[in-house]
Amino acid sequence: MGTTFKSTAIGVLSLIAVSATASADDLVATRQGLMCVSPDALAKLTLPDGSSKTARPNPSPSDLALKRDGGCIDIKIGARISVTSARRNTSIATYVVNGRSQTYIVPNIDFQQVQVAASGTPTVDQYVTAPGGNTTYYIMTLPTRNSDGDPNMQIEAKYNNNSSSTVLLFNRSSPDPEKNLTNFSKLVLSPDSRTLYFQTEAWATSNAIHSINIATKQVLFVAPGEITCVVLGGEYQGDLVVEQHRYYAQGGSYDSLWLFSPSGKEIGPVSQDTAVPKDCSTLGH
């Protein structure tokens, strides 16, 4: 049954591709998702945000079977395709797999026009290596730009034992400062190496601090402000020291350091100024 479905889908796709006028527009993948031979499989497996059901933790056996029988492959961020026919939500495109040019239906939401920067290669803005040296986490600036004209960025994990890598987060903009994920900076790893913290552009007077669960890739807003450090030991191990810009009730403003839990709960003040405390690594009584 699966073989018949796949063969039929390939035949239909080939007919569409041949009849379409080739435009050879180059697009680059800016999100992870799927591209498929079967339009039915692509529609059933692609979520509204462009990601795929099979990329979620513990995908169902039926979804994995549909991915296989529909001739679907994972989209790698940075992958480049050539469009032969564009539709409203999808495009017919060619992509080179193992040295061979293959034809797929791709979700437009996962791609954008190639705008190569002068260097033409990603640049490393910051990195942090987990204890033991097996994994390094990077903030990367890509040689493409988003719809606002700003450089695309991603947070990536590289596994040093086998040179493989995975993207934990790709930038996405939002009018809500707590949900805006652009212009990443200040990458910090938690003491248990399970969580990454980073900053994004947010309010006029403050950045926003977010966390990534490395295992699930879940991103959470933690607090407004600037990351000073993550406490490595002592009573408050794992909590964050955050610099915040606050306002007096009678007018005026000040900057000081505050302690927050990983979930964003304010624990209390650390310092009346912004000087990093000498005992930041083992904050406590």
261 pLDDT band, cuts 50/70/90, is very high
**Residue 168 CB neighbour total at 10 angstroms:** 19
Q: Is residue 208 part of a domain?
A: no
pLDDT of residue 211: 97
114 pLDDT band, cuts 50/70/90, is low
Angle at 226 between CA 214 and CA 238, to 5 degrees: 45
AA letter at 169: L
The whole domain housing 93 covers 2-113
Q: Is residue 207 part of a domain?
A: no
Domain boundary residue, one of 113, 130, 158: 113
Q: Could you tell me which residues come within 8 angstroms of residue 91 by beta carbon, excluding any fewer than 6 positions away?
A: 27, 83, 85, 105, 106, 108, 111
Q: Is residue 275 part of a domain?
A: yes
pLDDT of residue 275: 63
Q: Is residue 254 part of a domain?
A: yes
The conformational region for residue 234 under phi > 0 = left, psi -120 to 50 = alpha, else beta, is: left
Is it the case that residue 180 has pLDDT exceeding 60? yes
Burial code (b: 16+ CB inside 10 Å, e: under 16) for 84-105 equals bbeeeebbbbbbeeeeeeebbb
Report the range of poorest mean pLDDT among 89-93, 109-113, 204-208, 257-261.
109-113
pTM for the predicted model, two decimal places: 0.59
The conformational region for residue 163 under phi > 0 = left, psi -120 to 50 = alpha, else beta, is: left
Domain boundary residue, one of 169, 202, 235: 202
Q: Is residue 148 domain-shared with residue 239, that is, in the same domain?
A: no
**Alpha-carbon radius of gyration of the chain:** 23
Average pLDDT, the chain: 81
Are 228 and 215 contacting, i.e. CB atoms less than 8 angstroms apart?
no
How long is the chain? 285
Q: Could you tell me which residues come within 8 angstroms of residue 158 by beta carbon, excluding any fewer than 6 positions away?
A: 135, 136, 137, 138, 164, 165
